[in-house]
Every structure is written in structure tokens, then in C-alpha cells.
Structure 1
Amino acid sequence: MDITTLIDEVIAREGGYSRHPADRGGPTNWGITEAVARANGYAGDMARLPRARAVAIYRRLYWDQPGYALVAEISGALAAEMFDTAVNMGTGVATGFLQRALNALNRNQQDYPDIVVDRAVGARTLAALRAYRAVRGKGGDAVLLKAIEAMQGERYVALAESRPANEAFLYGWLANRIGQDAR
């Protein structure tokens, strides 16, 4: 799956303009928060944020900068999950989930060495992912995705537990962000 399709899917899930009172991100449009839009040079009314501007932000911040195109060269399904998780939780969290899962799945470093959980896709993370796939094959992607989604789901529940206003979003997070087979 290519990044254009992934962005279109995220925008379809996120919808247009929203100003939910429980959303700490404030006004959003196309899933882009006001703070992110402002940090990326948009000074206008959030209700009028051009879709093309949102697409450019998604591509730059949540695909190009974190290096998920490099992950896609190894596993398209994994890169799609990383992108979607990054959009909702941040690139550092998404990449940290990948690194933690790779470390936990290396059978006490029998398959490949542990990597530092630095929350950045780099040469060592990519090498660990390649080594994981060499041992587990393409079928191992499903297990790696489940590990990442388990961490993501736990984080959503913890967010709702720590801030009751987030309960307004928990069902949607779990329904729309975990286990999306369409990717």
C-alpha cells in the first residue's frame, strides 16, 4: 500500500473539522490539530485548512521524517501500522513500540542483538527488522503487528484511565485503530 492511500484512509477516518470539548488537541481538521497546523506554517481558520495542506503535513511528519518509507521497503503492512500509530500517538511512540517488540521477539538475542529503544528508525532498527523477518518470514509480520497493537491498545486504556475525558474517544480508538485488516 502506498502512502497516498494510507493518507486517504487516515483522512477518511478522521473526517473534517472537529472541535470536541474533551479533545486536548483543540480544533482539528482532516485529523490535523491546530498546534500541528500552526507549527507547519498554517495560520488560517482551522475549519478551512485545505485538504492538500493536511496531506502534505501527514506525508512529511508521519512518513518521510520518521523513515517509514524505509520500513515499507521491508514490510508494507508494518509501515502502514507505524504510520497510523504515529498519526494518533506520535512517531516516537510508534517507533518505540516497534523497537520494543523487536527486542522482545529476538529470543534473548539469539536471532539478532537488542537495539536501543531511542524512538527513531535508524540502521540498527532496520537491521533488526530484516533479521526478524529472515528468521520468522513474512508470516512473522502478523505477530509483530499484534505486539505493536497490544502496546497501542494498552496505551489507549491507560489514557482513558488517567483522564476520564478520554473515555469519550476510547471506543473509537480501539474500533478504528487496532487490527485494521484493510491495511
Structure 2
Amino acid sequence: MIDALVDAVIDREGGFVHHPADRGGATRWGITEAVARANGYAGEMRHFARPAAAALYRRLYWTVPGFDRVAERSPMLAAELFDTGVNMGPAVAATFLQRALNALNRGGSDYADVLLDGRIGAATLAALDGFLVTRPGGETVLVKAVEALQGERYLTLAERRPANEAFLYGWLANRLD
């Protein structure tokens, strides 16, 4: 599953980009120069290899944040968290999940609220398990809730920094499925 997700994000992100309005600076395959440098890459971003980008995506945006453990329970949700994490950071994606789980637990009667810490740990996984048991077929609704939070964040980013308006249409068209 993760290989297909990584290939799709790399294909969508494309090769070398250095958009003047992008605070991330130079990117290749969607990996920012800062992330590449923090993980040992010292060359020009124009030459950052696709396999190196794929390895970073698997490690930093799938395994480390625990989205692989979400995939064991809900592959559709894990795919959404991976894509959101690539675009906004894994902690933001995890927090979206935590917020949605808390809002969907019927006042704590289905399962306990979780701390909004941006980490997929035992409590978040237990809440996810509780949600999936009490809401059979609810996986689609949970994904919609995460996407709604993502869309709201895109609008906020564009409102707070007008230069982000250059990206808003693409974010909404390509990141919300």
C-alpha cells in the first residue's frame, strides 16, 4: 500500500520546483531542501534522487507518525493521513484525526476523548478502534471529517498569508478527494 501512495505523491509533486511564494523553498519530488538536509542530503536539490525521496516519505510520513498502524485498521483513513501529513506535516494530520475522533464519540459514550498531541499512540488507536466498532461503515465519515479540517486549514493559510493564494486552488483541487 505505502509504495503506491509514495509513487502517487511523488508523481503529483513532480520534479524540481522553486516557487517564489513557497516558504518551503526549493523542492524536488515534494521534499523540501530543509527536510533533505536534515536527513543527510548535501547536494543540489535539482539532483535529489527519487529513491531517496521515496525512502523519506516511507519513514517520515508513514512509519514514524504511526500511519502504518492506522492502515492495519483503516487503509482509506491511513492514505488520507499520509497525504495530509505530506502536505501539512504528520502531526497536523494526526491532530485532525484526534479532533475528528473526539467530535464523533457522542460525548465520550462510545470511547474516551484523546489528547490532541499530534501523535498516533495507544490512546488514539484505541479511540479509532472504538469508533470503527461503534460506527460500522463509518470509515468514510471519518475520512470526510479529516478532509473538512484540511480544507478549513487551507483557507485559513490563504487568508493569513495572501501569497498562499497562489497555491489554494491546487490544494483544494488536488488534496481533497
Q: Which residue in 2 is equivalent to 1:170?
A: 168
**What is the root-mean-square deviation in Å for CA atoms of aligned residues?**
0.5
Matched, 1:40 2:39: yes
User: Aligned partner of 2:154: which letter?
Assistant: Y
List 4+ stretches of structure 1 deviating above 2 A: none
1:86-165 map, 5 Å: 86-137=85-136, 139-165=137-163
Matched, 1:55 2:88: no
- Residues in 1 aligned to 2:140 and 2:64: alpha-carbon distance in whole angstroms: 25
- Residues in 2 aligned to 1:120 and 1:131: alpha-carbon distance in whole angstroms: 17
Q: Which residue in 1 is equivalent to 2:3?
A: 4
1:59-98 map, 5 Å: 59-98=58-97
Quote the offset at 1:71 in angstroms: 0.3
User: Aligned partner of 1:134: which letter?
Assistant: V
Q: Which sections of structure 1, spanning at least 5 residues, go unmatched? A: none
- Residues in 1 aligned to 2:99 and 2:28: alpha-carbon distance in whole angstroms: 32
- Residues in 1 aligned to 2:75 and 2:94: alpha-carbon distance in whole angstroms: 15
Quote the offset at 1:19 in angstroms: 0.6
CA deviation string 1:110-162 (max 9, x = no partner): 1011111111000110010011000111x201110111111000000000011
Percent of pairs with identical residues: 65
CA deviation string 1:152-177 (max 9, x = no partner): 00000000011111000000000010
CA deviation string 1:85-112 (max 9, x = no partner): 0000001100000000000000001101
CA deviation string 1:57-105 (max 9, x = no partner): 1011000100111000000000000100000000110000000000000
- Residues in 1 aligned to 2:130 and 2:170: alpha-carbon distance in whole angstroms: 35
Aligned partner of residue 147 in structure 1, secondary structure: helix
- Residues in 2 aligned to 1:175 and 1:8: alpha-carbon distance in whole angstroms: 19
Normalised by the size of structure 2, how large is the TM-score? 0.99
- Residues in 2 aligned to 1:111 and 1:64: alpha-carbon distance in whole angstroms: 28
Aligned partner of residue 74 in structure 1, secondary structure: coil
- Residues in 1 aligned to 2:145 and 2:63: alpha-carbon distance in whole angstroms: 24
Residue-pair matches, total = 177
- Residues in 1 aligned to 2:77 and 2:102: alpha-carbon distance in whole angstroms: 16
Q: Which residue in 2 is equivalent to 1:20?
A: 19
